[in-house]
Chain A
Amino acid sequence: MADLVGTAPASAFPATSSSGALLTIEGLTVDFSGVRVLRGIDLTLSRGESLGIVGESGSGKSVTWLATLGLLPRTANVSGSVQLDGQEMLGVAASRLDRIRGGRVAMIFQDPSSALNPVIRIGKQVGEVLARHQGVSGANIRAETKRLFDLVGLPDAARRFDAYPHELSGGQNQRVMIAMALAGKPDVLVADEPTTALDATIQAQILDLLTTIRRETGMALVLISHDLGVVSETCERIMVMYGGRVVEAAPSDSIFANPQHPYTQGLLAALPPFDGALHRLIPIEGQVPEPANMPPGCPFAPRCAQRMTVCKETIPPLTQTEAGHFSACIAGAVTEARQSLKVHKSVLA
């Protein structure tokens, strides 16, 4: 774990040693018709790493990755830099981007049943990726697709090639999506809320599958979720987003043991305990601010119990508070220094 999270300039999100950096995002911003929804994201992803991205709807967690892959509608205005192995990805020709998408960076989505084309057989949808990125053709497509279906645990894999998405359950369709993503042998798999539309039991199976596949293939996994619990079980490192910014980033254990941003603390307090006595969950009061009405200072200030006057005016930078642990909070840092014991108690009680 420690080798995955090194030191970085205070303003940038934790970079690992630059030789291990697979994907680097710097100052990524996105505007939709003049409204800024993503407000400068910095992050580095290493080979084989698992990174969880947590936040409420509208925090910008999906937009970050859709922008990275050039999948936002044309009306979106994207700026900043995204580099894959040192090669810029933003604004490159479509033909180059199409070699990266599905080949080096694959993405799967929230509702697998609508993410698959309803009028094309699933085998053909997987085969498209094989043909495009792996040069597989003819009868080999069927064989290779069957192998992938077996790999993702799709029952009755051989017969499924000719099935249509509506003939499969949501969980099976998500397995098809994962098979499709794996078909390109990607270096990174971005899973955008892959289990949100699925039953709780299926949810655990899909997360296990993603973890197993990551171990076996050595690809990096970016797991986007609104559920801190889901992410903590699957990922080594967690990035918490709020109002189009990164508010905290740290190794999973560190986030749980020592959450520093009041928003993260709030998320943890709202999480049911894994074991032990049930207690009343504490919701975070208030709403995520609309992108068009973002407060001038810290985006979380209006909902923050620890806010100080300065929080309403100054946007707190993401700063390193301990090795590999970054937080964007002015009040938190002060409070932390003053009464760190108390915060620990209130969160972990």
Chain B
Amino acid sequence: MLRFAAIRILRAVLTIALVVTFAFLVLRLSGDPARSIMGDDASPEAMAAFRREWGLDQPLWAQYLHYFAAILHGELGRSMRGGGPALDLVLGRIPATLMLTLPALLMKLAIGIPAGIYAALHRDSAIDRAVMVTAVAGYTVPSFVLGLVLVQVLAIWFAWLPTGGTGSLQHLILPIITLGVGGAAVLARFVRSAMLEVLGQPYIRTASAKGIPWAAVVRGHALPNAAIPTVTIVGFMVGNLIAGAVVVESVFSWPGLGNLLVVSVTARDLAVVQCILLLVAVAMVLSNLIVDFLYGFLDPRLAEANSTGGH
């Protein structure tokens, strides 16, 4: 178990280091922060001063080493635009994002899992087909399209809800629905196929042959097995709590992390973008770690393989 944990954690740290490196390279090579922040009409001297101040005049490898060393000391840099610590800026936006993504996650779970289970248990019924058609529609329509349609219909035509911005609980409704629908659809499809796979297994027939009522077979024998693959995708959704709302926040002008990311990327505000990406990577890696440990808990076959270092 210890070895298992050590390997997983080492792999997690490595993943984060890779993300940080990749983000650094892409951002440094894709544009000049001095130009995008100072503007095209800034004097060459002011540009040079800006570059010197932020260390942009140094060779790339020196910048990278400096950046990496700073991260190891917990120093994530300052915003080139506002000058404040990037981390404070980023952390300050997280509550707003979670206000959307947490209820959306609950909506995905509350709709997607029961719909998937029901569809699998009533395979090829009218309801199964309806669930699947809805699910395909739900996850093929991009969230910005869905968001715009919802705004057009509910906010503009009927004027029931605000088109965007913040201020009241009503402002939350459209973004949350927009976020939740796609995920619920993905989850419904996934849970359905996981359930169908499990329901076709010989041990389900064994349970029925033992005289266990069907409802108890589903609850006691099928669901625990179907939970194993489902945990993967739910884990991914949990990891996405922080970064999952970039597009929707833009559509609804919601002042969350996604909005900050878009603005910072456009401005090449390196420290802020890197700080967000680091945070997103950490969230993803953490949720993956949790999923790995949950596997061991849900599937005794894996638990044993883990505790003995695999065999």
Tell me the nearest residue of chain B to A74, going by C-beta: B123
Cα(A166)–Cα(B304), bound, Å: 10
Which residues 208-227 in B have Cβ within 8 Å of A in the complex? 208-214, 220-221, 224-225
- Looking at chain A, what size class is its interface with the partner chain? 20 to 34
A111 within 8 A of B: yes
Of B202, B211, B212, chain A has the most CB atoms within 10 Å of the CB of B211
Given the known inter-chain contacts A114-B203, A115-B203, please indicate yes or no for A69 contacting B212, CB distance below 8 A: no
Determine whether the beta carbon of A111 is less than 8 Å from that of B202. Answer: yes
B205: chain A residues at CB < 8 Å are 66, 71, 109, 115
Annotate A167-183 by CB proximity to B: 1 below 8 A, 0 otherwise: 10000000001001000
Cα(A115)–Cα(B220), bound, Å: 15
A101: chain B residues at CB < 8 Å are 208-211
The A-B contact count (CB < 8 A) is 81
Cα(A268)–Cα(B202), bound, Å: 32
Chain B nearest CB, measured from A338 CB (Å):
47
B299 within 8 A of A: yes
Determine whether the beta carbon of B210 is less than 8 Å from that of A115. Answer: no
Tell me the nearest residue of chain B to A129, going by C-beta: B210
Cα(A115)–Cα(B298), bound, Å: 19
Report the count of interface residues on B (CB-CB < 8 A): 23
Of A94, A101, A117, chain B has the most CB atoms within 10 Å of the CB of A117
A63 within 8 A of B: no
B201 within 8 A of A: yes
B266 within 8 A of A: no
Cα(A94)–Cα(B212), bound, Å: 10
Determine whether the beta carbon of B304 is less than 8 Å from that of A106. Answer: no
B307 within 8 A of A: no
Determine whether the beta carbon of B224 is less than 8 Å from that of A119. Answer: yes
Determine whether the beta carbon of A100 is less than 8 Å from that of B211. Answer: yes
SS class of chain B's interface: helix, strand, loop or mixed?
Answer: helix
Partner of A118, one of B210, B211, B225: B225
A99: chain B residues at CB < 8 Å are 211
Determine whether the beta carbon of A107 is less than 8 Å from that of B209. Answer: yes
Determine whether the beta carbon of A102 is less than 8 Å from that of B300. Answer: no
B224: chain A residues at CB < 8 Å are 119-120
B207 within 8 A of A: yes
Annotate A331-345 by CB proximity to B: 1 below 8 A, 0 otherwise: 000000000000000
Of A118, A166, A180, chain B has the most CB atoms within 10 Å of the CB of A118
Annotate A81-105 by CB proximity to B: 1 below 8 A, 0 otherwise: 0000000000000110111111100
B73: chain A residues at CB < 8 Å are none
Cα(A119)–Cα(B231), bound, Å: 15
Chain A nearest CB, measured from B65 CB (Å):
48
Given the known inter-chain contacts A114-B201, A118-B301, A166-B304, please indicate yes or no for A132 contacting B206, CB distance below 8 A: no
Which residues 36-80 in A have Cβ within 8 Å of B in the complex? 66, 69, 71
Tell me the nearest residue of chain B to A101, going by C-beta: B211
B-side residues, CB < 8 A to A, are 201-203, 205-214, 220-221, 224-225, 228, 298-301, 304
A-side residues, CB < 8 A to B, are 66, 69, 71, 94-95, 97-103, 106-107, 109, 111, 114-120, 128-129, 132-133, 164, 166-167, 177, 180, 184
Q: Which 5 A-B pairs have the closest CB atoms?
A: A102-B211, A102-B210, A101-B211, A117-B203, A164-B300
Q: 14 interchain pairs (CB within 8 A)? A: A101-B208, A102-B209, A103-B211, A107-B209, A109-B209, A115-B206, A117-B203, A129-B210, A132-B210, A166-B301, A166-B304, A177-B206, A180-B206, A184-B211
Given contacts A100-B211, A106-B210, 17 further A-B contacts (CB under 8 A): A95-B213, A98-B213, A101-B210, A101-B211, A103-B211, A107-B209, A109-B205, A115-B205, A118-B300, A119-B299, A120-B221, A128-B210, A129-B211, A132-B211, A167-B304, A180-B210, A184-B211
